[in-house]
Amino acid sequence: MRRLLLGSGGYREPERRELLFGAMREHFAGVERILFVPYAVADHDAVVSAMAEKGFGAGFPLDGLHRATDPVAAVEQAEAIYVGGGNTFLLVDHLQRLGLLEPIRRRVAGGMPYMGVSAGSNVACPTLCTTNDMPIVQPASHETLGLVDFQINPHYFAGQVLVRDGDELQEHFGETRDDRIAEYHQWNERPVVGLWEGTHLVVRGESVELFGGPARLFRPGRRALDVAPGDALTDALGA
């Protein structure tokens, strides 16, 4: 049975962190060490140290995958895997080059707990097509792990943003997330879950549950649907 914990990101507020850490303790119960995938950022040692210092392991020791001499073997032997945030294109490029997509899929299919945050949640989807990140490098393809059959847009928010211009707030006219996801659905069919910051999904087999706050579900040709924790997300996703 697949076991996934997929976080949106934005865990800079203490209550949000506590919620995530509680979910991690449940998700990783019985696990001794977690294999951490740091490839979404450039400095792998720094991110692993920072995660530990900030307590982002929620009590579990994190082993950086970049330290393994054989990354595929490390995935094959891991008790659990945690893919951290950063730049999704960079992460996908590394996962593809190191031949890690298939080994991770196999292990997750076999029941190994997977956790992703932000870019780590993007790559749990079939493609990177609903990332917010800048395409700073070019992976061989947009294909990602496909551990779920829907797409996630992490750090989701509704409407236009406001930006600071000195002391003033100014309306920003760039595309909203809803605009961007509507564009995605002009060319793609998969449902997209817009996950507000501080929220996460827990996937157990066919069940998909939302925690921490609302999410917006986008499906081609249908109105967007706002869902709350406890709502029947599994059915709405057709999972």
Q: Which residues bind a copy of itself (CB under 8 A)?
A: 9-12, 42, 86-87, 90, 128-138, 141-142, 155, 157-165, 169-170, 172-175, 180-181, 183-184, 186-188, 197
Q: Element (H or E) spanning 53, and its range? A: helix 44-53
The nearest distance, CB 186 to a copy of itself, in angstroms, is: 4
231 is catalytic: no
Q: Is 118 a catalytic residue?
A: yes
Pick from 133, 123, 126, 52: nearest CA to 94:
123
Shortest separation between residue 190's beta carbon and a copy of itself, angstroms: 11
Q: Which is nearer to a copy of itself, 109 or 134 (CB)?
A: 134
43/206 with CB nearer a copy of itself: 43
List the alpha helices (DSSP H) in 78-188: 88-97, 101-109, 119-122, 177-187
155 in active site: yes
Q: Which residues contact 196 (CB under 8 A, 6 or more apart)?
A: 8, 156, 157, 213, 214, 215
Tell me which of 118, 149, 167, 178 is the catalytic residue. Answer: 118
| Min dist. Cβ of residue 199 to a copy of itself (A) | 12
**CA separation for the pair 140, 157 (Å, rounded):** 30
Catalytic positions, please? 118, 133, 155
